[in-house]
């Protein structure tokens, strides 16, 4: 599993790992019920303290992205366990940001252009 850490990033390493694993799960690179590397293996592979990996895994489990089976390891949760909640949360955040931009004088046309640009960057248009 290839996860790169940006040591210039001000965020803690565990947050970067958590974000990158979430992205792999959301994009389907890691499918439902896929086993993810053990804390020890991930720590060795990334040359990072196992406690950092453990914290990232705890965050992922708390957020519903992975689940643990004692003695077997960590696995990607089924989408119905987290997708609807995350989608709802993301849409609420988007609506709040859109309202903030509106109050700052951004036109609907400019907002649409910005969204279109972002979708093109993501390869969605």
Quick check: 69 pLDDT over 90?
Answer: yes
The rounded percent of the chain whose pLDDT value lies above 90 is 65
- pLDDT band (50, 70, 90) for residue 118: confident
Cβ atoms of residues 32 and 78 within 8 Å? yes
CATH code matching the domain that covers 13-78, chosen among 1.10.10.10, 2.40.160.20, 1.10.40.50, 3.40.50.300: 1.10.10.10
The pLDDT of residue 109 is 92
The pLDDT of residue 12 is 96
Quick check: 114 pLDDT over 70?
Answer: yes
Stated pTM of the model: 0.70
Instruction: Give, in order, the Cα–Cα distances in Å from 69 to each of 36, 39, 51, 54, 78.
Output: 12, 13, 19, 15, 14
The pLDDT of residue 1 is 66
Q: Which of 3-12, 31-40, 112-121 has the weakest average pLDDT? A: 112-121
């Amino acid at each position: 599993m290839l996860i790169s850490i940006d040591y210039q990033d001000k965020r803690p390493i565990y947050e970067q790992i958590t974000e990158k694993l979430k992205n792999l799960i959301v994009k389907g690179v890691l499918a439902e019920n896929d086993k993810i590397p053990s804390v020890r293996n991930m720590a060795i592979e990334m040359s990072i303290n196992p406690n950092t990996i453990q914290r990232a895994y705890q965050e992922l489990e708390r957020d519903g992205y992975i689940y643990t089976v004692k003695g077997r390891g960590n696995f990607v949760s089924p989408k119905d366990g987290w997708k609807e909640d995350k989608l709802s949360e993301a849409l609420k955040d988007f609506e709040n940001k859109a309202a903030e931009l509106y109050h700052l004088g951004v036109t609907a046309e400019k907002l649409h252009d910005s969204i279109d640009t972002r979708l093109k960057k993501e390869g969605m248009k």
